Each structure stands twice: as structure tokens, then as C-alpha cells.
Amino acid sequence: MTTFGTQFCASFATARFEDDAWQAHRIEPLAPLSLHPAAHVFHYASTCFEGFKAYRWADGKARIFRLHDHVRRMQGSAESLRLPIPDADLLAAMVTELVAAEVEQIPAPPSSLYLRPTLIGTLENIGAAASPSTTALLYVLASPVGDYFSGGARPLKLLVDDQRARSTEQLGSTKTGGNYAAALGPTLDAKARYGVDQVLFCPGGDVQETGASNFLLISDNEIVTKPLDTSFLHGMTRASILTLAADLGYKVNERNFTVEELLEYAKTHEAALSGTAACLSPVGTLVYRGEEVPVRDGEAGKNTDRLRDALQDIQYGKAADTHRWLTTV
């Protein structure tokens, strides 16, 4: 399997917003896009996207994980950027029809088909800095991907940055490329200087998220994580893990906590990052003000493994989908 996100299926789904309405979607051969150099997306970053997976089970059918929740989140992102909001049924149909067309290309679990709906503003107007794009292109890419942890989940090292935020307060919960661009420089600098994998952004000492993942603290009976607000992404994996944790008897404690509290928690709790690509990744070391702080013994913890397995067992068809998260294609 090639590097995650670099292999694509032969077709993709497209739909355009023109004349104040969404036009009929199409499944067509994957090809480069033709866009005017003045397109709104190039100048004013009018773009958002989603990322989720479909799994092919032994019966030959695909199961898409939390399709309708991702559609709703994309609608929220589009609204915050004042882009034309995709019709929910339209976007769901684009995804399901694309998965149906490419079902034979989905590798068996733990591999999957990564799905990337993307919405971009196409208005040809470089004077529209204070105006929304009134035309748009919506498309869905499909990418066969392997197991993110082919050799097992390695404990990650995080730099704790108590000064900078990953995003802005009004756009943190919007899944837009600008948020990832904003985190890239600090993350690359931290990797070069401290040898870390990611930066845990904690502006003013408020523990928030890394460049692409939510952050959780986990003990034998409790999960501690920041409550949802507009300053950070409302991760679907985070939401799924918290739901399953409650099912398993963990106390879910969504509250704000500081870097000082985090360093105390590191003595007794496991730490993990949640996201679509890596599911639930263990954190073994924190770097704060030049000092390395181990998270417990620095190894992956049993609770992180237990919760990741609980989620993946549903996705792979090994456990019942009691929350009705899967859409069969």
C-alpha cells in the first residue's frame, strides 16, 4: 500500500452550485479540475472538506462510518464560510454512489476506503474579499488506504505550546484547509527543534487540540477532554470514543483543564489523540518548556487499546452497530 492519501480510485463524484441551485451530481472519471485563476478559493480560501472511511466486509458490501454525521458537519463548515450549503441528500448520494462504483477497490479491514468530500468557491472575482462565493464546486474523492499503524501504534511525543492556538475562535470548529496551514509551520518547527510528532496547542494554558487530532486523557474509569466550543474541531472519532467509553462504564468528564493540570494527569492517566486516520493514538511523552515529561510509563496504555478496539470492532463488523453509525452500500 502506498503512502496514506496518495492513491485514488478511477472515478469521483461532482456537483456544481450555479444559478442559486445545486445541479445534478455525476460520477465521472477522475481528472484534473479546470478553474479560472480568479476563482474565489484561490484568493480568499473559501474551502472546506470532510474525511471519513468505508470498510468492505466479508459479504462484499461496504459500510460507511457515520456518513450522515459527516454530512451535517460539512454543512456547518460551509455555513461558517458562507459557501453554498450542500444539500444533505445530494452529498450523501454522491458518497454512496461513488462507494458503490468503487466497492471492489476497497481493501479488506484493517484497510479501508478514505473518502474526502470537498467544497470550493468558484466565483471569478478577485475583488470579492468581503463577499461570499455565489458559485461552488462540490466533489468527492475516494482513496484506498492501509492500516495507519502497520507495525503497531507507537507512543507519540507532543510539544505542549501554552502560547499559540491552532486556529481562530470563530473557525476552529470549521474543517477548512486554513486551519491545517496555520498549524503546519509551528509543527514543523517543533519537529526540527524537539523531535516531536505533533504540537498540542494550549493558548493561554487552555489544553485544546493538535494540528489534526483531538486530545483525551484516559484512566481505568474516566476520560477527561475539553468540552466542545468553536475554538477546535468537533471530531467524529472523539464523539464515537466518548459514546463507547460511556457504554463501557467510563465516566466521561468534558471540562476545560490547564497545562498545569495536564502535567499532573500525566502521572496517572493515559493520553491519546483521536482522528479518522489513526483512530486513537497513544501519547507517551510531553515536552514542556524544554523538559520531557513521560505520560505514566511512556508506553501505550490498556485503556487506549481497549477503546480503539471497541471502535474498530464496529467498523470491521466484529461487534454490533448498536448506535446505527454504519451505512451499508
The answer to the question of residue 323 being in a domain is: no
If asked whether residues 54 and 128 sit together in one domain, one would say yes
Neighbours of 129 (CB within 10 A): 9
The answer to the question of residue 291 being in a domain is: yes
If asked whether residues 118 and 174 sit together in one domain, one would say no
Which of 145, 177, 192 is the endpoint of a domain? Answer: 145
pLDDT per residue as tens digits for the range 128-163: 999 999 999 999 999 999 876 655 678 999 999 999
If asked whether residues 140 and 227 sit together in one domain, one would say no
Which of 105, 124, 145 is the endpoint of a domain? Answer: 145
Written in H, E and C, the secondary structure of the chain is: CCCCCCCCCCEEEEEEEECCEECCCEEEECCCCCCCCCEHHHHHCCEEECCEEEEECCCCCEEEECHHHHHHHHHHHHHHCCCCCCCHHHHHHHHHHHHHHCHHHCCCCCCEEEEEEEEEECCECCCCCCCCCCCEEEEEEEEEECCCCCCCCCCEEEEEECCCCCCCCCCCCCCCHHHHHHHHHHHHHHHHHHCCCEEEECHHHECCECCCCEEEEECCCEEEECCCCCCCCCCHHHHHHHHHHHHCCCEEEECCCEHHHHHHHCCCCEEEEEECCCEEEEEEEEEECCEEEECCCCCCCHHHHHHHHHHHHHHCCCCCCCCCCEEEC
If asked whether residues 54 and 99 sit together in one domain, one would say yes
If asked whether residues 180 and 97 sit together in one domain, one would say no
Question: What are 121's strand-pairing partners?
Answer: 136
pLDDT of residue 170: 86
The answer to the question of residue 201 being in a domain is: yes
CA dist., res. 41 & res. 293, Å (int): 42
The answer to the question of residue 324 being in a domain is: no
The three cell numbers of residue 295 are 505520560
pLDDT per residue as tens digits for the range 218-269: 999 999 999 999 999 999 999 999 999 999 999 999 999 999 999 999 999 9
If asked whether residues 274 and 227 sit together in one domain, one would say yes
pLDDT of residue 36: 98
Pairing assessment for the beta strands 156-161 and 198-201 based on DSSP bridges? parallel
CA dist., res. 63 & res. 315, Å (int): 8
Q: Find out whether 208 and 217 touch, Cβ atoms under 8 Å.
A: no
pLDDT of residue 151: 56
Buried b (16+ CB within 10 A) or exposed e, 240-278: bbbbbbeeeebeeeeeebebeebeebbeebbbbbbbbeb
pLDDT of residue 1: 53
Catalytic residue ranges: 175
C-alpha angle 145-147-151 in degrees, rounded to nearest 5: 140
If asked whether residues 140 and 187 sit together in one domain, one would say no
The answer to the question of residue 102 being in a domain is: yes
If asked whether residues 21 and 57 sit together in one domain, one would say yes
Structurally, how many domains does the chain consist of?
Answer: 2
Residue (of 63, 46, 45) closest to 54 by Cα position: 63
pLDDT of residue 199: 97
If asked whether residues 165 and 304 sit together in one domain, one would say yes
If asked whether residues 43 and 133 sit together in one domain, one would say yes
The answer to the question of residue 5 being in a domain is: no
Neighbours of 92 (CB within 10 A): 18
Which of 86, 117, 145 is the endpoint of a domain? Answer: 145
Q: Find out whether 25 and 13 touch, Cβ atoms under 8 Å.
A: yes
CA dist., res. 50 & res. 176, Å (int): 9
CA–CA distance from 202 to each of 3, 93, 213, 242, 295 (Å)?
Answer: 30, 39, 13, 21, 17
Residues in the chain predicted with pLDDT less than 50, given as ranges, are none
R_g of the chain computed on alpha carbons: 20
If asked whether residues 141 and 163 sit together in one domain, one would say no
* CATH number for position 215: 3.20.10.10
If asked whether residues 182 and 294 sit together in one domain, one would say yes
Residue (of 272, 218, 275) closest to 245 by Cα position: 218
pLDDT of residue 3: 80
pLDDT of residue 153: 73
* CATH number for position 129: 3.30.470.10
The answer to the question of residue 4 being in a domain is: no
Q: Which domain holds residue 162?
A: 156-315
The answer to the question of residue 327 being in a domain is: no
The one-letter code for the residue type at 29 is P
